[in-house]
Amino acid sequence: MSTITTPLLAIRGLRAAYGKIEALKGVDLDIQPGEIVALIGANGAGKSTLMMSIFGRPRARAGHITFDGRDITGLATHEIARLRIAQSPEGRRIFPRMTVAENLQMGADATPGSDAVRAASLERVLTLFPRLQERLTQRGGTLSGGEQQMLAIGRALMSRPRLLLLDEPSLGLAPLITRQIFNAIRTLNREDGLTVLIVEQNANHALRLAHRGYVMVNGLITMAGAGLELLQRPEIRAAYLEGGRRV
């Protein structure tokens, strides 16, 4: 007898637009608890819009977003954050004039928690990213690109998320730093059971990391499957991997 599990995140018929330009045209997507799910596609396919729509901006024009059985489609961003959904956005968007410690504190403030809980979260972040321990009193804007990405992810982790949204975590980073970032994501999933949705321009890295993947084209999901299975499909290799393409 098979066991039916309820998705942690379920998206049904999601449509979203910027003015008259429809970016999402009826997206369906599920994420089970404890999964890493990758979303790949060409630039402009709607991947980042989907991530931002989960967080309430832009608002859905149609469809539903359900988190742990609750419809969150109409919630404000701060209410969504309090449900322990956290985002590390494209471009990092750290606070450049604040110190590393202050940036991390901003992440902790997104959800309620005792001093002991916050201290434990900080210890976990600094264990994953030891470089941040060395930079705690340094302003965020003076960090290298890789350190800023670690800080952006660490800030998201300070809210003790049940679902972590990662938008282009390897963008512009050296291969060594990229490996460190992906190893940290793998560790969080395996040791902490963290559920992750990752949009990533490096399809090879993303699909090797993910349990499952979705392919988005022009605001629609066109393909889905296990990460390694998608990686072997000729059409995926031709569109996203061959000739050194990273999208």
Q: By C-alpha distance, which of 134, 129, 54, 51 is closest to 91?
A: 51
- Quote the pLDDT of residue 243: 46
Question: Is 1-83+162-242 a CATH 3.90.1580.10 domain?
Answer: no
CA dist., res. 176 & res. 146, Å (int): 10
The tens digit of pLDDT for each residue in 138-185 reads: 999 999 999 999 999 999 999 999 999 999 998 888 889 999 999 999
Beta carbons within 10 angstroms of residue 117's beta carbon: 13
CA dist., res. 200 & res. 39, Å (int): 7
- Quote the pLDDT of residue 3: 53
CATH 3.40.50.300 domain span(s) along the chain? 1-83+162-242
Low-confidence ranges of the chain (pLDDT < 70): 1-4, 242-247
Task: State the pTM of this model.
Answer: 0.91
Helical residues (DSSP H) of the chain, grouped into ranges: 47-54, 77-82, 100-108, 115-128, 130-134, 145-157, 175-192, 203-209, 227-232, 234-236
